[in-house]
Amino acid sequence: MEQLSYFLAATVRMAIPLLIAALGLSVAERAGMMNIGAEGIMLMGAFAGYTAARLLGSYWLGAVVAMIVGVLFTGIFAVLAISCRTQQVVVGAAINMLGAGVTSVLYRKLFYQVGTGISGMMVESFPSIPIPLLSSIPVLGPMLFNHNALVYVGYFLVAAVWFIMYRTSLGLKIIACGEHPKAADSLGINVIKMRYMTTLASGALLGLAGAYLSIAQTNAFGEDMTGGKGFIAMAVVILGKWTPLGITAGAVLFGGANALQMSVQNWGVAIPNNIIMMIPYVATVVAVVAVSKKRVGAPSAQGVPYIKS
Amino acid sequence: MNVVEMRHIYKYFGNFCANEDVNFSLEEGEVHALLGENGAGKSTLMNILYGLYVHNEGSILINGEEVHMDSPSVAIEKGIGMVHQHFMLIPQLTVTENIFLGMKETGFVLDRKDLQRQVEELNNRYGFNVKPDAVIWQVPVGVQQKVEILKVLMRKARILILDEPSAVLTPDEVVELFNSVKALSREGYSIILITHKMSEVLNYADRVTVMRQGRVVDTVRVADTDENELARMMVGRDVDLDRKITGADFGKALLEVKDLTVRNDKGLEAVKNVSFTVREGEIVGIAGVDGNGQLELGEAIVGLRRIERGELKLNGNTVTAAAIRERLDEGLGHIPDDRLKKGLVLQLPIKENLIMGMQRSEKYAKGIFMRRDAIQSHAEKLVEEFDVRPADIEYLAGGLSGGNQQKVILAREVDREPNVLLAIQPTRGLDIGATEFVRNKLVEERSRRKAVLLISTDLDEIISLSDRILIIYNGAFMGEVQYDTPLEEFSLLMAGRGSKEKKGEAV
């Protein structure tokens, strides 16, 4: 029972960064963007969040700075992909390499000292805030309502994205820009502006998702600490068929795979660690292959620059 | 009073002048046809009026006031609405969502019930009968067009631009559409009708402006003109598209299709148990509204689509599961429906496009090396014979006009001396001159004892070229008719209401 409870709570903790990143990506993708630079942007967010939390002494400021850095860094992608109409996949790949390089160099230059040990590198991170009453429900309580504040932000974002996409005129415009940009333009919708807005918003969420890794889930930065989570978030978007609820389910599935990996390691089963650590990645491949047979739900104009005659 | 005045409009795309010194005016409450061949500059002019293109020179006056028309939102604000030839609808959204998309009046949070009520109101006023909560990709094209018109009306447009509105409709739907158009003009709406069909101009328009090669030839009252004069203005010479099929001396069957069933991309049966034959010296036409399985049928015959059940014979040999290459060896020629995607490699020159499908033939290749001289002389011969312009065999296929692209495909396929020539929409998007050329070639192939299968949504084309006509609806044949069958019967059959072989499905 305790192990189950631990597993479920870990599932949620592991799912949240994927959820926040995937929600952001889904909005930009529905407007017609294909940002494979998610990994690099998350890494920048993780580093910026850690740096700000350490220098300013506040994890909240860390989260805010991570979002700002996410927006700025995504801005590079946005300008190149939207205004310069560069191949989105190429720019995205460059963003990933840039993110990995910049964070490594700055981290070593600013913080890393031989012999300090990990303890010297730690910052104060988002503490768990049990929600009164709700957190005392058996199983569900610890699973959903005994987490750090960013987990609750994640819950809120699911509802917010759902509301915007399906209940507002803004949502209709975003979908129109991704499905049939020329039609959107013919109705006076500024496709370029919509794509900038959604892409930059996704940058903020990617930055936040990155900060979650360094100042909520752990309390230190590590080189390449995203470990492919940006790519997994992209898979979650596909798995969730670009809908907020589908993405939530997808994030929980991958969070579960991660939690399972940790649990299996804890149980001390006699399987080589390397094999166990493959679980989330294998799950990604299997899940994406399973749904990609029918790529329903993919925005028709995804990754195609809009060129006005 | 003129609600629209376009004065001395010039529009360049690179060095190409799409509109040259164009003057156009629209009176309040009239239906004004804009007639011209493809590439004459009609759509360019209207895209300028709607703010999708920005003109290089000239001025636009709306209700007597000069307007800087640099975006559709300006046009919308000035009461101009456009129904595009390729619908500007988002397939994944509902009718109501499409109608209100981009309208400021909806506010930020959508009140779906109220929006649906407004659609219902407009529906009732104009008798459109569209379901507000239907999702666009699930409704027929005729309904999609009504949604486009509702979209424009909801934005309180008083000037409507209809771009080739009848292209995708059944004959019945066309009549219905133009009845609505006339009703709107009686209510004071001013309507511009872009078309290349003379019958529509003569039956429904008050005035007509004819364009050719980017220039206005003339603007005349429809009452003062006739079909021959309009055709002369459009093409610059006399044209003859009348039926030239005479005599009937059919030989053995070259193409035999038996109980053929084919699935479409969604996995549904698009062609259902279809059987027919085409004989030597015969043109069989398959008529029908777009999307009734004719495309899938054509692809199945060529080998681009798997045959689910049934049998296909070319030249007496079964090729049901044969590779495309074997079918070509059996003497199949193919003019595809989409010349840009399936007919040509746009980035390659004419000469290489002319040997495509024959690249392995000893005539043009020796092992892995191409015989450049043979390819060159082959191309030179065909370019001259088919009057491809420019007559430069190094010219890239992508740079040719539609008519010349089609000539290249036709030349290639005819030169291979096929037994069976499958022509799918062979004149779609071509101007009258090129259409005449392509049709004459098909008739020529018939006189050379080939079997020709013509699949087309253009009923005039089917009627003027076919020895026998099969009408396809919802993947099955509604019956076989003669070319002189009354039009009403054609339209009943094409709408699935057969008088002959009733399928028992009331639609």
Specify whether domain B250-331+418-507 bears CATH 3.40.50.300.
Answer: yes
CB contact under 8 A, A182 and B88: yes
Query: Is omega for the bond preceding B390 within 30 degrees of 0, making it cis?
Result: yes
Bridge partners of B193, per DSSP, are B33, B162
Would you list the domain boundaries of chain B? 2-235, 250-331+418-507, 345-417
- Same fold? B2-235, B250-331+418-507: yes
Q: Is the pLDDT of residue A70 over 60?
A: yes
Cα–Cα distance measured from residue A86 to residue A104, given in angstroms and rounded to the nearest whole number:
27
- Give the residue carrying structure tokens 């005039």: B460
CB contact under 8 A, A185 and B52: yes
Helix (H) or strand (E) holding B61: strand B57-62
Cα–Cα distance measured from residue B119 to residue B143, given in angstroms and rounded to the nearest whole number:
14
Residues of chain B neighbouring A172 (CB-CB closer than 8 A): 93, 97, 100-101, 110
pLDDT at position B243? 81
ipTM: 0.85
**What single DSSP character describes residue B35?**
E
Q: What angle do CA A169, A171, A172 make, to 5 degrees?
A: 65
Q: What angle do CA B389, B390, B392 make, to 5 degrees?
A: 125
pLDDT at position B338? 87
Residues of chain A neighbouring B100 (CB-CB closer than 8 A): 169, 172
Q: Which CATH superfamily is domain B2-235 in?
A: P-loop containing nucleotide triphosphate hydrolases (3.40.50.300)
Q: What angle do CA B197, B199, B200 make, to 5 degrees?
A: 70
Cα–Cα distance measured from residue B310 to residue B299, given in angstroms and rounded to the nearest whole number:
15
pLDDT at position A294? 59
Helix (H, G, I), strand (E, B) or coil at B258: strand
Average pLDDT over residues A244-272: 87
Quickly count: other Cβ atoms within 10 Å of residue B104's Cβ. 9
Q: Is the pLDDT of residue A269 over 80?
A: no
Residue B369 exposed, middle or buried by CB count within 10 Å (0-12, 13-18, 19+): exposed
Closest residue of chain A to B152, computed from CA coordinates: A187
Q: Which residues of B touch A (CB under 8 A)?
A: 13, 47, 50, 52-53, 71-73, 76, 82, 84, 87-93, 97, 100-103, 106-110, 151
Domains of chain A: 2-125+150-292 (1.10.3470.10)
Residues of chain A neighbouring B82 (CB-CB closer than 8 A): 186
Q: What is the pLDDT of residues A230-250, one digit of tens each?
A: 999 999 998 898 999 999 999
Instruction: Give the closest of B13, B84, B106 to A169, CB-based.
Output: B106
Distance (Å) from the alpha carbon of A245 to chain B's nearest alpha carbon: 18
Q: What is the pLDDT of residues A91-148, one digit of tens each?
A: 999 999 999 999 999 998 888 776 666 656 788 999 999 999 898 888 888 889 989 9
pLDDT at position B501? 46
Q: What is the pLDDT of residues B139-176, one digit of tens each?
A: 888 889 999 999 999 989 999 999 888 877 777 788 88
Residue A117: which region, alpha, beta or left (left: phi > 0; alpha: psi -120 to 50)? left
Amino acid at A1: M
- Interface check for A172 against chain B (CB to CB < 8 A): the answer is yes
Q: Kindly calculate the radius of gyration of chain B based on its CA atoms and give it in whole angstroms.
A: 24
Half-sphere exposure of A172 (CA within 13 A, CB side): 28
Q: Give pLDDT < 70 ranges for chain B.
A: 498-507
pLDDT at position B104? 86
- A174 touches A27 (CB < 8 A): yes
Q: What is the DSSP string of B99-122?
A: HHTT-GGG-SB--HHHHHHHHHHH
- Interface check for A167 against chain B (CB to CB < 8 A): the answer is yes
CB contact under 8 A, B107 and A169: yes
Distance (Å) from the alpha carbon of B123 to chain A's nearest alpha carbon: 21
In this prediction, what percent of chain A has a pLDDT beyond 70?
95
- B388 touches B404 (CB < 8 A): yes
pLDDT at position B399? 84
State the pLDDT confidence band at A296, using cuts at 50, 70 and 90. Answer: low
State the pLDDT confidence band at A46, using cuts at 50, 70 and 90. Answer: very high
CB contact under 8 A, A175 and B90: yes
Distance (Å) from the alpha carbon of A299 to chain B's nearest alpha carbon: 9
Residue A227: which region, alpha, beta or left (left: phi > 0; alpha: psi -120 to 50)? left
> CB-based contacts of B129: which residues, under 8 Å, 6+ apart?
B123
